[in-house]
Amino acid sequence: MTEHAPLELERFLPYRLSILSNRISQAIARDYQSRFDLSMTEWRVMAVLARFDSQGLSASDVAARTEMDKVAVSRALARLVAARRVARRTHNGDKRRSVLRLTATGWKVHDAVAPLARTHERELLAMLGDDERDALMRVLDKLAPV
Amino acid sequence: MTEHAPLELERFLPYRLSILSNRISQAIARDYQSRFDLSMTEWRVMAVLARFDSQGLSASDVAARTEMDKVAVSRALARLVAARRVARRTHNGDKRRSVLRLTATGWKVHDAVAPLARTHERELLAMLGDDERDALMRVLDKLAPV
DNA sequence: TGCTTGTAGTTTCATATGAAACTAATCTTA
DNA sequence: TAAGATTAGTTTCATATGAAACTACAAGCA
């Protein structure tokens, strides 16, 4: 008789991680989308621009910081600029580079979304014990260091 | 002075989980793709068909077991059937339902891919300590119960 | 029976995504 | 300093995805 040793998908780590991550991301994305007409990628761009505001980031700085590819960043920025949430200027002395800042409107959105994001995270972490939370953070540090 | 409290994306749990999951899935997907012309969704369908082989699953059984939506399953099956990796018959007594089985070819692919999948998982887990591994599994059980 | 409602699966359509080609500007070096 | 190589960013093209419409069949019920 032949032995096929099928995989138990529901215990397979990569599968479970992808289920978990998709559930969380989609729940959050739906929320941002419906409340602010803001996609996950747009929010990530805004979060980075907010955090490094003083530095006048370029699109490729944003791509590096968000781990998104430059096409995704370019498209997110196109929408954010059209919505006047981000101002795009040209770099002094390097006309290829853009210099990106949140506008006042952009900051308003940011200041509404950021607490919402924190709440989502808190709700997740509340389901875990302290020890599990710590272990999870260590796991993330080891498997996907920043 | 205004306080904007920007989010530190690189410490934000949903973001980190999505980075980790995408990295792992993409690495594995690239591997299956290049070696077997098999997408991640196709592999998941095959894994479920292998596991519940005796039960003559239908497409919606597969959708339920894989947590994929029925459109994705339908398309994966179309490709798998075209490649003669899966045989599709019609259910006796309910002509809407399909009855799906791996073909001999399908089993060959399965038997090559399954150990590969296990290896990927082992390599991941090898980066963690026993305690971290246990905690990770508990976290997954709590946050994304099967 | 025949009508309504429900279910399995596929197709359509609109959007998302990424690789590669492209444009424009800058840098390198002979 | 002019040609070739690099870099920033956009566009194109091919594929992936999901919601909703659609087709075919089945079940419930008058």
The 10s digit of each residue's pLDDT in A74-122 is: 999 999 999 999 999 999 989 999 999 999 999 999 999 999 999 999 9
Q: How many CA atoms lie within 13 A of A4 on its CB side?
A: 21
Residues 6+ apart with CB under 8 A from A35: A112, A116
pLDDT at B133: 94
pLDDT at B120: 93
pLDDT at B1: 60
Quickly name the fold that domain B33-143 has: Arc Repressor Mutant, subunit A (1.10.10)
Q: Give the angle B134-B144-B71 at the CA atoms, nearest 5°.
A: 135
C-alpha distances (whole Å) from A72 to each of A17, A59, B11, B102 are 23, 10, 21, 38
A110 φ, ψ (degrees, to nearest 5): -55, -45
B71: CB within 7 A of chain C nucleic strand: yes
User: Rounded CA gap, A95 and A60, in Å?
Assistant: 14
3-class DSSP assignment, residue A100: strand
Q: Which band of pLDDT confidence, cut at 50, 70 and 90, is reported for residue A3?
A: confident
Whether pLDDT at A2 is above 80: no
For all residues of chain B together, what is the average pLDDT? 94
% of chain B with per-residue pLDDT over 90: 95
Beta carbons of A40 and A34 less than 8 angstroms apart: no
pLDDT at A41: 96
Quick one: which of B56, B94, B62, B54 has its CA closest to B78? Answer: B62
Whether pLDDT at B22 is above 70: yes
User: Rounded CA gap, A16 and A23, in Å?
Assistant: 11
Task: Check CB contact under 8 Å for B18 and A10.
Answer: no
Task: Check CB contact under 8 Å for B50 and A7.
Answer: yes
Whether pLDDT at A1 is above 70: no
For all residues of chain A together, what is the average pLDDT? 94
Whether pLDDT at B2 is above 80: no
Q: What is the 3-state secondary structure (H, E, C) of B32-94?
A: HHHHHCCCHHHHHHHHHHHHCHHHCCCHHHHHHHHCCCHHHHHHHHHHHHHCCCEEEEEECCE
User: Rounded CA gap, A115 and A113, in Å?
Assistant: 6
Whether pLDDT at A137 is above 90: yes
Whole-number distance in Å between A125 CA and C28 C1': 52
Whole-number distance in Å between B40 CA and C5 C1': 36
Domain ranges of chain A: 36-143
B19: CB within 7 A of chain C nucleic strand: no
- What's the whole-number mean pLDDT along residues A35-44? 95
Quick one: which of B103, B49, B92, B18 has its CA closest to A9? Answer: B49
Please say whether the dihedral angle defined by the alpha carbons of residues B64, B66, B69 and B75, taken in this order, is positive or negative.
Answer: negative
pLDDT at A73: 98
User: Is CATH 3.40.50.720 the classification given to domain A36-143?
Assistant: no
| DSSP symbol at A10 | G
Q: Which band of pLDDT confidence, cut at 50, 70 and 90, is reported for residue B94?
A: very high
Beta strand pairing call for A86-91 and B86-91? unpaired
Q: Which band of pLDDT confidence, cut at 50, 70 and 90, is reported for residue A45?
A: very high
